[in-house]
Structure formats: C-alpha cells, structure tokens
Amino acid sequence: MSEPAVELRDVTKVFTSTRGDLAEEVYAVQEMNLEIAQGEFFTLLGPSGCGKTTTLRLIAGFERPTKGEIFIHGQPMSKVPPNLRPVNTVFQNYALFPHLNVARNVGFGLEVRRVSRPERERRIHEALDMVQLAEMSNRRPSQLSGGQQQRIALARALVNQPAVLLLDEPLGALDLKLRKAMQIELKQLQAQVGITFIYVTHDQEEALTMSNRIAVMNKGRVLQVGDPVTLYEKPASHFVADFIGESNFFRGVVEAVSGQLVEVQVSGTRVRATAGALPPSSGQEALFAVRPEKVRLIISEESIDGALRGVIQEVIYIGTDTRYIVNVEAQSPVAVRVQNGCGIAPQEYRRGDVVQLSWLPEDAHLLAD
C-alpha cells in the first residue's frame, strides 16, 4: 500500500494551565503512534477527556505537539499552519459563520484560496447537491435545523477536496433517530468521495457502525487499534473490553497453560480461556472477560465440568433478548443475554434458579489489567 494519509510519530501534547501561582501540567496526549491509511474511515474513540479531540486538533494544526511529529501524506506538519494543511474539519457545533449565507459558508474555503467565481459556484452547487440542500443556498445558518446545519458543515469541508477530513463528534448534537440515519449517510458519503475520514466520538456503537478501524483512547494514550470485529471480539485490555460493548470480568489464578488454551481457577472452579497476546504462566493472577451473549446458561444443581455455579438474581425481559443477572460466589454479578429466537421460550429461567455458566474457551480473553 502507498504511504499513510496521516501518521503520528511519538506525539505528546502537554497543556500548562496557570491558575494563580500554580502551574499544572496536563498530558492530553502521550507518546501517540498511529498510521491512518488513505481512504480509511478511522475513528478515535474514548471517554471525554481522553485526548481524542486534542489529537484531532493536533492534526488540524490548532494545537502544536509538545513532542513528536505529524505527517500528512508523508509531509511533516510541525511548521505548517492550519490554513495551509490539506485537511478540513467538521466542528462539533458546526461553527457555521452566522453572518454569511449557506452558499458563502460553503464557498468560504474556495474564496480564501482565490478560486475563480464560476468555478466556485459550480463546486458550491455540487457540494450542496451532494448533501441534498441545494435549495437552501440563500438561507442563513440560523434558519436551518440541526441536521441541515450538520450537512452544510460537511459540504463546507468537502468542497475543498481535502486529503483528510476531520470530524469532531459531528453528530453529537442531533437526536438519536437522526443520528442513526446520518451515520449511515456519512459512511456512504465517505465511500463515495474516497477521502480519508478521521472521526472522533465517545459513542462506541457509532464507532462500530461506521469505522474501518478504531483507536480506543484513554487518558491520552491509544490502548488498542483494530477493526470493529477485532476490538469487540478480542479486546486487549480491561478498559477496551469494558468500554466497547458489555463484558463480564472474572479474576482467578492460572492453573495450566497449553498453547493458547489457559485453565484458570475461578471461585473454586476450573474454567477455560484463551491467552491472546499475553501468554501467562501457572500460578499467576489472571483477569479475563466474556461477553454476556457468549455465556451459556444451564439449569442444573450439579456442577458441570468447566462451568461456574451461580444463582439467578434478576430476570429482565427486553424484547429481542432476556437478560439474566447471575450471582457467582466471590465474583461480580454476571450478566447473561439469551436471545428470544426460535425455540426458546421467554423467561425460561426464573429468579432463584441454580444455574451453571459456561462458555467456549475462544470467547474468554485474558486481559492486560
């Protein structure tokens, strides 16, 4: 493959905030390394304050890295101001210019770059067509709905044909239904224009829906980079397993290791898990996660080999599935999701039932703490 669209090499950003005489150093981004391929839909995902927006602003050029270097299409960016970078941004609250109408908002970048008038008008028209708002070109931003403003912001950025489009929680202000629709639309649009998208969100479902690859961030660091399936199915750390989707965490002591297969002693029972990237040794403390839908429930007073014994504490019927909360000795309550598909009667199990919980070894992943 050709060179990456964006590369971050050992990028660190420290903010110094002075409150009175106290100077405090905050590490917003720490030793970050990333390669984002051309044409990729790449998402920075993490809780608020994790440094994802700072990373985006570093790429856009609004912040300068304290250390490290950012390359866009192989060019180092440290001396390039934001107005000369081949990137455009869709801002969180859209940042549409209130004193200009829609057409002039969209044409702003072209106007600044002295694109000739006919050419400008042609491209403005094209861009507005693309977001299906051609008839709005004489309106002021304040006369548009949130969804329309969002599309104008998108058109305003895309009309410049940037090498990379940066999107800072662009759907955050929309209501749920519109957000879902826009997710699909954005994804299709990206495939259509073929521009690299770097997307910032704290919404894991949104990230899974749209992205080719996702970087999960926490406290200024990238914890794991991967496609949605890998991140969901094979989370590498406690944080990732917890942040993306739902996970049950078990703690125990490693009893035996054979290749990828690991046997762990949990609450007096030997259960099986997969080692993943960190092969452990016997006697070591271990933490592993199992998704609620990967846990099997069997009503049985008798213990089953490799299964944990538990008591159903709560039965929650939620339509497509039924959720069970199961108490297991010396562990946090375990969530189990059973699909109400063919052949399974809803509420098959009741509160107080003694059950055995089991899973396939490949669905239980040992995690870095």
In angstroms, give the least distance from the CB of 92 to another protein.
Answer: 8
**Token digits of residue 287:** 């933490």
Question: What crossing angle do the helices spanning 146-158 and 176-193 adopt, rounded to 10°?
Answer: 20
Binding residue (CB under 8 A) for another protein from 69, 75, 112, 188: 112
Binding residue (CB under 8 A) for another protein from 95, 134, 178, 257: 95
Reported as type and span, the H/E element at residue 177 is: helix 176-193
Residue 214 makes CB contacts below 8 A (sequence gap 6+) with 42, 43, 44, 45, 207, 208, 225, 226, 227, 228, 231
Binding residue (CB under 8 A) for another protein from 2, 83, 116, 281: 83
Among the residue ranges 36-44, 108-116, 236-244, 349-357, the one whose residues contact another protein (CB under 8 A): 108-116
Q: Give the whole-angstrom CA distance, residue 128 versus residue 137.
A: 8
Q: Is 257 in the site for another protein (CB under 8 A)?
A: no
Q: Is 119 in the site for another protein (CB under 8 A)?
A: no
Q: Give the whole-angstrom CA distance, residue 137 versus residue 134.
A: 6
In angstroms, give the least distance from the CB of 228 to another protein.
Answer: 28
Going from the C-alpha of 186 to that of each of 73, 181, 190, the distances in angstroms are: 23, 9, 6
In angstroms, give the least distance from the CB of 113 to another protein.
Answer: 5
Question: Please, which residue, 123 or 294, has the CB nearer to another protein?
Answer: 123
Question: Please, which residue, 13 or 272, has the CB nearer to another protein?
Answer: 13
Q: Is 109 in the site for another protein (CB under 8 A)?
A: yes
Residue 351 makes CB contacts below 8 A (sequence gap 6+) with 312, 313, 314, 315
**Token digits of residue 141:** 């931003």
Q: First vs last Cα of the chain: how many Å apart?
A: 34
Residues 53-82 that bind another protein (CB under 8 A): 60-64, 81-82
Among the residue ranges 33-41, 109-117, 201-209, 251-259, the one whose residues contact another protein (CB under 8 A): 109-117
Question: Please, which residue, 48 or 83, has the CB nearer to another protein?
Answer: 83
Q: Is 113 in the site for another protein (CB under 8 A)?
A: yes
CB contact burial 147-177 (16+ within 10 A = b; e otherwise)? bbbbbbbbbbbbbbebbbbbbbbbbeebeee
Site string for another protein, 274-293 (x = CB under 8 A): --------------------
User: Is the distance from CB of 103 to CB of 137 less than 8 angstroms?
Assistant: yes
In angstroms, give the least distance from the CB of 96 to another protein.
Answer: 8
Q: Is 331 in the site for another protein (CB under 8 A)?
A: no
Binding residue (CB under 8 A) for another protein from 120, 156, 213, 309: 156
> What are 16's strand-pairing partners?
25
Question: Please, which residue, 144 or 254, has the CB nearer to another protein?
Answer: 144
Q: Is 154 in the site for another protein (CB under 8 A)?
A: no
Question: Please, which residue, 64 or 351, has the CB nearer to another protein?
Answer: 64
Site string for another protein, 120-149 (x = CB under 8 A): ----------------------x-------
Going from the C-alpha of 272 to that of each of 253, 334, 346, the distances in angstroms are: 11, 16, 29
Q: From start to end of 208-333, where are the E strands? A: 213-218, 221-226, 248-258, 261-266, 269-274, 285-290, 296-299, 308-317, 321-328
Residue 8 makes CB contacts below 8 A (sequence gap 6+) with 32, 33, 34, 35, 55, 58, 59, 68, 70, 71
Site string for another protein, 217-256 (x = CB under 8 A): ----------------------------------------
Binding residue (CB under 8 A) for another protein from 99, 177, 281, 283: 99
Binding site for another protein (CB under 8 A): 18, 60-64, 81-84, 87-89, 91-93, 95-99, 108-109, 112-113, 142, 156-157, 160
